[in-house]
Amino acid sequence: MVVPCFNEMRRLPASVAGVSRWLLERGRPFEVILVDDGSSDGTGALLRRLAGDYPQVRVKTLPRNRGKGRASAEGVHFSRGTLVLLFDADASMPIEELSKLERAIADGADIAIASRAVPGAREIDQPFHRRLLGKAFNRLVRVTLLPGLRDTQCGFKLFRGETARQLFSQLEIDRFAFDIEILLRARRSRYRVTEVGVRWLNSDASSVSPLRDGGRMLWDLARLRLGSVGRS
């Protein structure tokens, strides 16, 4: 699994402990690739410590902050698994939900994305304004670029390994709209994408700023729609 990490001193240790425990108990081989996205809060040292504590953890470092998309692509590039999971540092999707995504891949999908907007999804403690913003953004994505998909933004997506490595090697969008570019490219390459309803916990305050990051996302959406990125 690949975890993009930007200033995650507070949230990451519990997340890594939780997923490692669950994955170890399952007994199948796994690796956890933590990518430090140019953090300024000591996350770098924390990641090195975690790599010492857990033999399954590997660390990659971006010298300056490049965005969740770029950090994810960097991690995927170094991945070796037959399956690759993208996982947010705050573990707002409980790792047990991975079984549902794996089932979707076993049933023939190339990519299984967690969703808060299809049957089976449950949101716990999501503040009203964030739910509204999320819904509006997803609607815009559905109307302009990805008809049929109801929630593209969950930080919990499972790919066949080769599919992930191929798609992410082409990624142009560095920040939070990268999921949309990846899913667009997946459609063009005729990969099968399945949306899977998951249980979802709102861990705590998001690190995404609606104004700055939201504005950038709209701009990237426009660039994707006009074809100035995401084509080559």
Q: Is 155 in the site for ligand GDP (CB under 6 A)?
A: yes
Specify the amino acid at residue 215: G
Q: How many residues bind Mg ion (CB under 5 A)?
A: 2
Instruction: From 24-32, 39-47, 84-92, 180-188, give the range in contact with Mg ion by CB under 5 A.
Output: 84-92
Measuring CA to CA, which residue among 143, 202, 206, 145 is closest to residue 177? 145
> Does residue 61 belong to the site contacting ligand GDP (CB under 6 A)?
no
| Tokens coding 133 | 């913003």
Q: How many CB atoms lie within 10 A of CB 223?
A: 16
The residue among 88 and 110 lying less far from ligand GDP, judged by its C-beta, is: 88
Taken in order 107, 112, 118, 122, the sign of the CA dihedral is positive
Task: Provide the residue type at 22 as one letter.
Answer: W
Q: Does the footprint of Mg ion cover residue 92 (CB under 5 A)?
A: yes
Residue 61's beta-bridge partner residues? 36
Cβ 91 to Mg ion shortest distance, Å: 9
For Mg ion, the binding residue among 8, 74, 90, 181 (CB under 5 A) is 90
Distances (CA, A) of 24 to 56, 58, 82, 205: 10, 16, 17, 29
- Binding residues for ligand GDP, per CB under 6 A? 4-6, 8, 37, 65, 67-68, 71, 88-90, 92, 155, 206-208
Q: Interface with Mg ion by CB under 5 A: which residues?
A: 90, 92
